[in-house]
Amino acid sequence: MTLSPAHTAPPPAAAATARTPWPTLIWVLLIGTFLIRSAGFIYPFLAYHLADRGVEGTWASIVLALFGAGWLTGQVVCGAAADRLGRRATLVGAMTGATGVFAVLAQTHGLAALAVSAFLAGVCYDAPRPIVSALIADSVPDEPTRARIAGWRYFAVNLGAACTGAVGGLLTEAFGTTPLFLTNAAACALFAAAAWRFLPARTSPPAPVGGTYRAAFTDVRLMLLWLVSVCALIPVAALYSVLPVMMAQDHLPASAYGFSQVAGAIAVLILSPLLNPYLARRATGNRPMVGLLAVSAVILGAGMGSAGLTSHPAGYAAAVIAAVPGEIVAFVAASNVVNLIAPAHSRGLYAGVWSSTLAVAVIGAPLLASWALSTGAHPFVALVLTACGLTGAAICLPLSALVHRPRPPATAPPLPQLVPAAQKTG
């Protein structure tokens, strides 16, 4: 009997890949990601730290902007360094640097020292993101498994962020921000030690001597993906910059904002395990996940935009929950596109350029919100955030025409058996 395409069994290679355990390296990266996010107090509590040091108003805004500028710089620089110097060397170096910089930021008091250390802390704070993305692409040969790992990585990031908010909020009032920042430094030191122990010394072909930056920034597909991601992530950043402002203007207590954060975290914990298998199946298809990326941008814009149409705590919480599916899908779909378009020797740089979109969104969201609030109050914020999502979806049209999934090989290569660096040198 001849089977129709809809009923054809999956290729043996794909089935074998689904049953193949993930390499130890992947578990190290996921656990390390959770560790530094669950102790990632620097960014959410930096404003409180500056206030404790007597830095407020315009100067506090300048220092926070310097942190954002460092975050943006660190994504591109660390991504390129991962290609040129190696994944392990860059990750260990970035986390070791973060250990020292975070400790200095925790103890310093002068404005100039705070400004410099905040910029350097921004460089290191999210440095693992492009390096981890490149390591996953290096170590896992098939897109379905990469998509599954990306989903659980997003889960680890959000679970860690929920722990950061819950623990940090309780400890800051009792002990101040200095112990929190030192804890963040210690977590980075542990990740650096784990990376040195378990990551191979070299996991990617060396990058060409010249032209890498130019090749990346002239790749129309990468630039379109960058624009789509900025449009999609501005509503995500609005959760931390726009939402509390609107809730304060509605005379809601800080506990109401905390309630919305908890509601969003619970939604992530429930929806991630449900959506991850679906996203992994979509990654097995013949079409890149650009269409899903467009849908996620619309969900994010409309979901967070709906916060501008309410004044009740439950309404704000509902807006956060409505945006969660879009955030989950956007992370996995964008990772899929980056994996497809990045040359093997530039995976770190491509991941770094894409990861910089979160820093741009963090910087741009409050500026956009300030303009929207001064122009047309809360309903105009809803319109602007929805427009961001729709714009991102529209940019997906030319991106879809340019991104194509390569034809799979007849047999999928086995997952590499990575030997811990300590065993190689022992």
**Whole-number pLDDT of residue 202:** 66
**Whole-number pLDDT of residue 398:** 95
**Whole-number pLDDT of residue 365:** 85
Q: Which long-range contacts (CB under 8 A, 24 or more apart) does 10-19 make?
A: 10/284, 13/411, 13/412, 14/142, 14/144, 14/284, 14/412, 16/412, 17/141, 17/142, 17/144, 17/145, 17/412, 17/415, 18/144, 18/145
In terms of average pLDDT, the best of 96-105, 130-139, 280-289 is 96-105
C-alpha closest to that of 223 among 134, 331, 353: 353
Element holding 383 (H helix, E strand): helix 347-402
Separation CA 101–CA 6 (nearest Å): 55
- The average pLDDT across 3-32 equals 62
Model confidence at 369: pLDDT above 90 = no
**Whole-number pLDDT of residue 128:** 93
The string over 368-388, giving b where at least 16 C-beta atoms fall within 10 Å of a residue's C-beta and e elsewhere, is bbeebbeeeebebbbbbbbeb
C-alpha closest to that of 45 among 106, 104, 97, 96: 106
Model confidence at 56: pLDDT above 90 = no
Residue 344: phi and psi, rounded to 5, are -60, -35
- When mean pLDDT is compared across 64-68, 200-204, 358-362, the lowest value belongs to 200-204
**Whole-number pLDDT of residue 405:** 66
- When mean pLDDT is compared across 182-196, 375-389, 405-419, the lowest value belongs to 405-419
Confidence of residue 410 (pLDDT cuts 50, 70, 90): very low
- The average pLDDT across 53-57 equals 83
* pLDDT above 90: percentage of residues in the chain: 45
Q: Which long-range contacts (CB under 8 A, 24 or more apart) does 306-309 make?
A: 306/382, 307/238, 307/242, 307/243, 307/246, 307/381, 307/382, 307/385, 308/246, 308/378, 308/379, 308/380, 308/381, 308/382, 308/383, 308/385, 309/378, 309/379, 309/382
Model confidence at 343: pLDDT above 70 = yes
Cα separations in angstroms, 82 against 87, 102, 147, 301: 5, 22, 21, 33
| pLDDT tens readout for residues 29-50 | 999 999 999 998 898 888 888 8
Please name the residues in contact with 396: beta carbons below 8 A apart, sequence gap of 6 or more. 228, 290, 291, 293, 294, 297
Model confidence at 264: pLDDT above 90 = no
Confidence of residue 201 (pLDDT cuts 50, 70, 90): confident
Model confidence at 140: pLDDT above 70 = yes
**Whole-number pLDDT of residue 44:** 83
**Whole-number pLDDT of residue 246:** 87
CB 305 within 8 A of CB 235: yes
Cα separations in angstroms, 120 against 65, 98, 191, 253, 401: 12, 8, 18, 34, 39
- The average pLDDT across 173-196 equals 92
Question: Mean of the per-residue pLDDT values for the chain?
Answer: 84
Model confidence at 207: pLDDT above 80 = no
Model confidence at 327: pLDDT above 50 = yes
